[in-house]
Amino acid sequence: MRSLSAWVALALAAGVCAVPSTTVHKVKESVVSPRGWVKRAPAPADHIIELRIALPQPNFDELERHLYEVSDPFHDRYGQHLSKEEVEELVAPEAESVHLVNEWLASHGVYEDGLTRSPAKDWVHIKIPVALAEEMLRTKYHVWTHDASGSSVIRTTSYSLPEHLHDHVELIQPTTMFSHMKSLKTTFHFSHFSESAKGSASVTADAPPINIPSASGGHVDASCNATVTVTCLQQLYNAAGFTPSTTNGNQIGITGYLEQFANIQDLQSFYADQRPDALNSSFKTILINGGQNNQSLAEAGAEANLDTQFAFGLTFPTPGTFFSTGGSPPFIPDDLTPTNSNEPYLDWLAFILAQKTIPQTISTSYADDEQTVPASFAKRVCNEFAQLGARGTSLTFSSGDGGVGDGEEDPALQECFTNDGRNVTRFVPLFPPSCPFVTAVGGTIHVPETAVFFSGGGFSDLFSRPAYQNAAVTKFLNKLAPGTYKGLFNPNGRAIPDVAAQADNFLIFLGGRSGLIGGTSAAAPTFASFISLLNSARLSAGLPPLGFLNPLVYAIHAAAPDAFNDITTGNNPGCGTPGFNATEGWDAVTGVGTPNFGKLKEILTFGLGSLDLASSS
Q: Which residues line the annotated binding site for Ca(2+)?
A: 566-567, 585, 587
242: Cβ contacts below 8 Å, ≥ 6 apart: 234, 533, 537, 597, 601
What gap in Å lies between CA 359 and CA 345, rounded to an integer?
17
- Residue 608 to residues 397, 473, 524, 550, 604, Cα–Cα distance (Å): 26, 23, 25, 15, 6
- Helices then strands, each counted (H, E), the chain: 14, 29
C-alpha 407 chain-centroid distance: 14
Bridge partner list, 159: 29
Cis, peptide link before residue 56, omega less than 30° from 0: no
- Has 307 been annotated as catalytic? yes
Strand partners, 368: 431
Annotated catalytic residue 343: no
Rounded CA separation 31/600 (Å): 45
- Check 266, 303, 347, 408 and give the catalytic one: 303
Distance CA 27, CA 314 (A): 50
CA dihedral angle for residue 8, residue 10, residue 14, residue 17, rounded to 10 degrees:
110
The kind and range of the H/E element at 7 are: helix 4-18
Sequential DSSP letters for 474-521: HHHHHHSPTTTTTTTS-TTEEEE-SEEEE-S-EEEEETTEEEEEESHH
Q: How distant, in Å, are the alpha carbons of 549, 555, 565 from that of 610?
A: 18, 13, 19
Per the residue annotation, which of 266, 273, 307, 343 is the catalytic one? 307
Distance CA 345, CA 327 (A): 10
d(CA 399, CA 440): 5
In sequence order, the β-bridge partners of residue 430 are 369
DSSP per-residue codes, 95-157 = HHHHHHHHHHHHHTT--GGGEEE-TTS-EEEEEEEHHHHHHHHT---EEEEETTT--EEEE-S
CA dist 206 and 248 (Å) reads 41
Which residues neighbour 1 within 8 Å (Cβ) at sequence distance 6 or greater?
A: none
Residues in the chain, overall count: 617
521 catalytically annotated: yes
Closest by Cα among 178, 146, 154 to 333:
154
Instruction: Give 215: exposed, middle or buried? Use CB within 10 Å, 0-12, 13-18, 19+.
Output: buried
As a whole number of Å, the CA-based R_g of the chain is: 24
Set 521, 532, 536, 616: catalytic member: 521
The DSSP bridge partners found for residue 249 are none
Q: Which residues face 443 on adjacent strands?
A: 501
* Positions marked active-site: 303, 307, 521
